[in-house]
Amino acid sequence: MDKSLARDKEIVFCAGSHDRAIRMAMADYKRLAKPTVLKFSYPEALDEIESMPLDPFFYDPFLL
């Protein structure tokens, strides 16, 4: 799960079909699913991207 989602109070996800969904408290989801939380998405706002520290070993042509 992306780190940005871990801050939300609730989570909504597919419930085994494309027309059903489950909504639950994030605390309950974390307790039941024990998701690995990583940062792998980009910020929506460009000013947030510009303020991100540069990693010399990470190349992303979409940020150029």
Listed by start position, the domains of the chain span 1-39
- State pLDDT tens for residues 2-49: 888 888 999 999 988 888 999 999 999 999 999 999 888 776 665 555
Q: Does the predicted TM-score (pTM) go above 0.75? A: no
- Look at residue 24 in the predicted model and tell me its pLDDT: 96
Indicate the Cα dihedral angle 16, 12, 3, 40, nearest 10°: 50
- Look at residue 39 in the predicted model and tell me its pLDDT: 84
By the 8 A CB rule, do 23 and 10 touch?
A: yes
- Look at residue 59 in the predicted model and tell me its pLDDT: 58
